[in-house]
Structure 1
Amino acid sequence: MAPPAPPGHTRRMIHSVQTPVLDIAYTQHGPEDGPAVVLLHGFPYGPQGYDAVVPPLVDAGRRCIIPWLRGHGPTRYRDPATLRSGQQAALGKDLLDLLDALAIPRAVVAGYDWGGRAACILAALWPERAAGLVTCTGYNIQDIAAAARPAPPEQEHRWWYQYYFHTERGRAGLEADRQGIARLLWRLWSPNWAFDEATFQASAGAFDNPDYVATVIQSYRHRFGYASGDPALEPIEAALAAKPAIPVPTICLHGAGDGVGPVQSSAGHARHFTGSYERRVIPLVGHNIPQEAPAEFAKAILDLPLL
């Protein structure tokens, strides 16, 4: 049993399931036989960000599964020799492995940031496993081959933390003050969201994982070609390099106040989706849509067709 949750947050029973690479910790809510929804958090956040999203989904009969991503919370690598990689192929394969381990043939997959990337990858490469997709900020599959191409100065400024993590100073800084960096990013990325310290602390436990720093640093270095990936994942990375289209029903959410991924960045992403696709812009909301706009996030899931 998990420790008591802070006021206003859901008390949760933590489960664990074994995949080929991880012991994935997750919480589950709603009927076992309901249509499955997997809710995936981002960096630097935790599953608690979905606390207000879950109740309307459960009321609608959905089975909600909320895992801690690799390197976060009680999720653990099974083998000390496994590369502590946060590369995009790892996130997508972890989601596929989670569905396999839980014997879920198909699920709606929904997420933002790292979690949105995992959801997009599953929907692109294994669309038979995705009944629908809710993605924040659009098509989240990385174009690593083009990563060296400079972005406009304003966007380079927003990505300062990624360049910081490319250095040993940045790795040491994250090791020294995980919460301080996360709290700053929360403020910068969601400038209109007045979260309190209890809300932050409810998610901050996700950063205490012993492999958090290594996984995060590898993620931000790999996406720019500054760190090698896991050789076992190279076939998946090769498939992603082709920028595969996503054929499953999709709703894209984008906060108009997103401080790291400006709203115009997803305006042309419809070209990446060959199934039904709708983009919804949410005024004032920043990067952390499940916590800033939980009703809109839940509605997007429920508006997808039940297939």
Structure 2
Amino acid sequence: MELKTINAGVLKISYYDYGPADGWPAIMCHGFPYDVHVYSEVAPRLADAGARVIVPFLRGYGPTEFLSRETLRSGEQAALGFDLLALMDALKIERAIVGGYDWGGRAACIVSALWPERVVALISGNSYNIQNIARSLEPASPAVEASLWYQYYFHSERGRRGLAEDRNGIAHLLWKMWSPTWNFDEETFNQMAPAFENPDFVDVVIHSYRHRYGLVPGDPAVADIEARLAAQPDITVPAITIDGDADGVNYGTGHHARKFTGPHEHRIFANIGHNLPQEQPIDWVTAVLDARRLSKNC
């Protein structure tokens, strides 16, 4: 494992590189509010299976930084997908297995949907992770609305200040709420907390949770990608999708199956919450290896 940096698109991306340089490429992306350490058990196991595993810090996290002060600190879905594609281009990776959950799963789904020729297979926590912004103001059930409190909080300037002043407190609370069966210790949390001190973290997070509801404009540089995502494109690549049955923020996505028109399997991790690869690393590794086999059978 080695921490590296590379200029990719609008970012200088920091990433961990595991396994042989000539291994089969697998890119695993983290979510909010986590960082690359969610794959600290997954990545070495995949490397032992012959993979070259790339685990990047997303925009706004850890040492990843913007190349220009002028770039909008966008957290919109199109920007996340653009970053993943730019990273693949910068690393000269023509095709890869891509995977993730939450924000990272969104990036992986977007690349899989819009550039399927670049994807060997997809592993997606919470299934079809592409936002339907046009329908974002339609109300959900009271239980779902309650679980999304943090998103509505971030819509206000009170929420921005709250995140800026106590990002660790918010992240710690969300971990506990979203993964009620995961008994993480403070050492585990403190390993990731420095990633939230990135100077762009607050701006990127706030923009993400406002843009997905159509409350702020997006970055014109990725407007074409956002327009394509508005059509809610199907995902045609081989895919394994995963839910945790104890997820405190997502109540199951098996009904997304119709959006996967290629070979597809949906799995449930029993007694597992939102942070799928860290809470259940062995089963996540199995899903990656099975997705690779699934792609070979196409």
Task: Please state how far the C-alpha of 1:272 moved relative to its aligned partner.
Answer: 0.3
Q: Please, which of 242, 264, 270 is the counterpart of residue 257 of structure 2?
A: 270
Is the CA contact 2:33–2:171 (under 8 Å) kept in the aligned structure 1? yes
Q: Please, which of 259, 281, 284 is the counterpart of residue 294 of structure 1?
A: 281
Aligned to 2:224: 235
Q: Please, which of 114, 128, 136 is the counterpart of residue 125 of structure 2?
A: 136
Alignment of 1:42-191 (within 5 A): 42-191=31-180
Task: Please state how far the C-alpha of 1:268 moved relative to its aligned partner.
Answer: 1.1
Task: Please state how far the C-alpha of 1:31 moved relative to its aligned partner.
Answer: 0.6
Q: Does 1:197 align with 2:208?
A: no
CA distance in structure 1 between the aligned counterparts of 2:127 and 2:59, rounded to whole angstroms: 22
- Structure 1: where are the runs of 5+ without partners? 1-11
Aligned to 1:255: 244
The alignment partner of 2:2 has SS state of coil
Is the CA contact 2:9–2:83 (under 8 Å) kept in the aligned structure 1? no
CA distance in structure 2 between the aligned counterparts of 1:102 and 1:194, rounded to whole angstroms: 36
TM-score by length of 2: 0.97
CA distance in structure 1 between the aligned counterparts of 2:95 and 2:285, rounded to whole angstroms: 18
Task: Please state how far the C-alpha of 1:128 moved relative to its aligned partner.
Answer: 0.6
CA distance in structure 1 between the aligned counterparts of 2:135 and 2:277, rounded to whole angstroms: 30
Matching residue's letter, 1:293: Q
Q: Does 1:216 align with 2:174?
A: no
4+ residue segments displaced more than 6 Å: none
Task: Please state how far the C-alpha of 1:19 moved relative to its aligned partner.
Answer: 1.5
How big is the alpha-carbon RMSD for the aligned residues of Structure 1 and Structure 2? 0.8
- Structure 2: where are the runs of 5+ without partners? none
Task: Please state how far the C-alpha of 1:55 moved relative to its aligned partner.
Answer: 2.1
Q: Does 1:281 align with 2:268?
A: yes
The alignment partner of 2:232 has SS state of coil
Is the CA contact 2:9–2:87 (under 8 Å) kept in the aligned structure 1? no
